[in-house]
């Protein structure tokens, strides 16, 4: 499994979270069981983080390229003003 970590900025947290369910539905539809779940978080400094669990690194990298331009996810991605960081990591253990 692969964990995708993205830290970013938005000017409208309400609009960002309003588009979240549509994004998650699209990830499930497009990637099936390879999309294992996600968490949207807000850090103390006001920036946001998205933690996405993928079945494989290949799917994570493919989704990172495909999803920002996917019209079904535009309500979410359109609210991101700046991406601070994006990385992938191999999951070694989970519980």
Q: E strands along the chain, which residues?
A: 2-10, 35-42, 48-54, 80-90
Torsional sign, CA 78, 14, 63, 7: positive
Confidence of residue 46 (pLDDT cuts 50, 70, 90): very high
**What value does the mean pLDDT take over residues 13-24?**
94
Per the rule left: phi > 0, alpha: psi between -120 and 50, beta: everything else, 42 is beta
Nearest to 12 by CA among 77, 91, 56, 94: 77
Mean pLDDT value of segment 27-48: 97
Going along the chain from its start, the domains and CATH numbers come out as 2-90 (3.30.70.100)
Range 20-26 average pLDDT: 95
Nearest C-alpha neighbor of 46 from the set 11, 78, 21, 14: 11
pTM of the model: 0.91
Q: Which two tokens stand for residue 19?
A: 């588009």
Q: Average pLDDT in the 72-83 region?
A: 94
Distance CA 86, CA 55 (A): 18
Report pLDDT for 34.
Answer: 98
């Amino acid at each position: 499994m692969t964990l995708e970590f993205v830290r970013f900025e938005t000017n409208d947290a309400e609009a960002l979270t309003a588009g979240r369910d549509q994004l998650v539905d699209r990830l499930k539809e497009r990637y099936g069981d390879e999309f294992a779940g996600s968490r949207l978080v807000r850090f103390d400094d006001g920036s946001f983080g998205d933690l996405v669990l993928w079945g494989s690194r290949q799917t994570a990298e493919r989704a990172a390229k495909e999803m920002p331009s996917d019209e079904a996810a535009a309500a979410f991605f359109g609210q991101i003003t700046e991406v601070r960081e994006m990385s992938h990591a191999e999951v070694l253990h989970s519980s």
